[in-house]
Structure 1
Amino acid sequence: MTELAEYKTDNRIAYITLNRPEKRNALNPELVKSLTNLFLKAGNDEEVKVVVLKAAGEVFSAGADLEYLQTLQNNSSQDNLEDTVALKNLFYSIYTLPKLVIAQVEGHAIAGGCGLAAVCDIVFAVPEAKFGYTEVKIGFVPALVACFLVRKLGEGRVRELLLSGELIDAVKASDYGLINFVTDKISISSQVRTYAERAAAGVSGNSLSITKQLIQSAQNLSLEESLEEAVRLNVKTRSSADCKKGIASFLGKKKLEW
């Protein structure tokens, strides 16, 4: 039986691949569960420093599975609650993963599929890719992703994207801050790999994890509270093995690889 999501590692990079190309990598409960498990696996793998999320086929992800959407009409409130919590857990797992997460988007990323890309730390995309949240066009709401997007883009851009339901191209998505890099189809894999390998070799895994915590606390806490958290994490980092190693290498003018 074909796996809905595949996992492989190479040179301290975990590659997680959506593998439903015949369904445009649409999200259903099974795929959501599989992706969540694989991200947790990568997060706990001490040999992995960077995670790359990509997709098989020509579409990154078309959002919710149409067959699954049909079943929603008959779901109980409990069914809908469990399903929504599962998707929330996936997004949250990616967003808070103590590793660098890169999305490699080689096709359209729509609705929940766009949400998947948006919660990654860095997004590479081909020029042909379209991005958007079309939920309002089918009487639905982009509830979960709104929580992350407001933090990433600011309220003005989020209102524009979520209330219109319109798709935008990769260049505009880059201008908005939704994605980071636009690169052609031929070179995107090599550019993502180079970026990931450079991060794996050049960045302290402990510092990366703590910096992600700092970014999250700066947005979620008041200024006073986030400064207190920054003090705590600063003190914690100074006594870490990575910090001692990094300072010793810097003072000794020795090349350092993590």
Structure 2
Amino acid sequence: MAYSFLLYTVAERVATISLNRTDKRNALNGALVAELRQAFAQAAQDDQVKVIILKGEGEAFCAGADLDYLQQLQQNTYEENLADSRELMSLFREIYELDKIVIAQVEGHAIAGGSGLVTVCDLSYVVPEAKMGYTEVKIGFIPALVAVFLVRKIGEGKAKELLLTGKLISAAEAAAANLITAVVPAAEIRDYVAKVARGLCNEASENSLKVTKKLIGTVLDHTIQDSLEYAAQQNAATRGHADCKRGIAAFLNKEKLTW
């Protein structure tokens, strides 16, 4: 599939989706959001893809909403803005609920919607120089969609601080708040993320990754008892899966297993 605003490649069971609007600092508009949804769907349906890396070309990871796009939104009806908001909502949810692991490789600033993309990824590695922040309130907008995921990820108190002040924070501050996985030097980040992706591909069962990701995303929606019952059911179902039988057999026979 050809993309106008993205680069899409697959190698060694890893799909790399690169935002490629470098003249706009990879800012989001309706067309880019649509292409991102298509690219993630393509990766989701590809049996040769086990892990997905999301990154940005050029100096920025993603600078948030495109200025021309923001101007256009001023002319939209409520119904048009609702439909547009649901497109971004669907993208965030699709990344969050995707059966495959999504890694954000952040080599430049991730602002507003750019921080939103990082928030919904499963793992995120950021260079020390990058700034992050949810700056929507500073232009009279609200960080509505990302708030749903951010509160789950870092808790209400810290989410309030970031969302209400709209302040930019360093990669180190983002790591301290558990917003990102780790800070990695710019000279090392590409090899580092590639190594993480290879590890997931070769050292973990695809079914186990999928079920564990779903379990983590589900348990907060229910009572402790319901969550435990759901976890017990997933535990029992996984024991009967071919991956589990293969993994246990290799462990008992002291065999090195490559997934």
Q: The TM-score by the shorter chain falls in which range?
A: over 0.9
Find the residue that maps to 1:127 and give its secondary structure. Answer: coil
Q: Counterpart in 2 of 1:189?
A: 190
- Shift in Å at residue 119 of structure 1? 0.5
5 Å-filtered alignment, 1:151-166, equals 151-166=152-167
1:87-142 per-residue CA deviation (whole Å, 9 max, x = no partner) reads: 00000011111111100000000000000011001110110000000000000000
Q: Which runs of 4+ in 1 moved over 3 A?
A: none
Q: Counterpart in 2 of 1:112?
A: 113
Counting matched residue pairs gives: 258
Aligned amino acid, residue 27 of structure 1: L
5 Å-filtered alignment, 1:141-220, equals 141-220=142-221
**Match status 1:43 vs 2:57:** no
1:156-194 per-residue CA deviation (whole Å, 9 max, x = no partner) reads: 100000000000000001101111111111111000001
User: Are the aligned partners of 2:52 and 2:100 in contact in 1 as well (CA < 8 Å)?
Assistant: yes
- Shift in Å at residue 231 of structure 1? 1.6
Q: Return the alpha-carbon distance in structure 2 between the equivalents of residues 91 and 124 of structure 1.
A: 18
5 Å-filtered alignment, 1:11-160, equals 11-160=12-161
Q: Return the alpha-carbon distance in structure 1 between the equivalents of residues 106 and 143 of structure 2.
A: 20
Aligned amino acid, residue 17 of structure 2: I
1:196-244 per-residue CA deviation (whole Å, 9 max, x = no partner) reads: 1011000100000000111011111111111121121111111101001
**Match status 1:247 vs 2:248:** yes
1:61-93 per-residue CA deviation (whole Å, 9 max, x = no partner) reads: 011110000011110111101100000000001
| TM-score, L = length of structure 2 | 0.98
Q: Return the alpha-carbon distance in structure 2 between the equivalents of residues 220 and 36 of structure 1.
A: 25
Aligned amino acid, residue 95 of structure 1: Y
Aligned amino acid, residue 140 of structure 1: F
| TM-score, L = length of structure 1 | 0.98
Query: Percent identity, aligned pairs only?
Result: 53
Q: Counterpart in 2 of 1:5?
A: 6
Q: Return the alpha-carbon distance in structure 2 between the equivalents of residues 233 and 41 of structure 1.
A: 27
- Shift in Å at residue 6 of structure 1? 1.6
CA RMSD of aligned residues (A): 1.0
Q: Return the alpha-carbon distance in structure 1 between the equivalents of residues 3 and 105 of structure 2.
A: 22
1:16-42 per-residue CA deviation (whole Å, 9 max, x = no partner) reads: 000001001000000001001111111
Aligned amino acid, residue 118 of structure 2: A
Aligned amino acid, residue 162 of structure 2: L
Q: Return the alpha-carbon distance in structure 1 between the equivalents of residues 81 and 222 of structure 2.
A: 30
User: Are the aligned partners of 2:3 and 2:35 in contact in 1 as well (CA < 8 Å)?
Assistant: no
Gaps of 5+ in 1: none
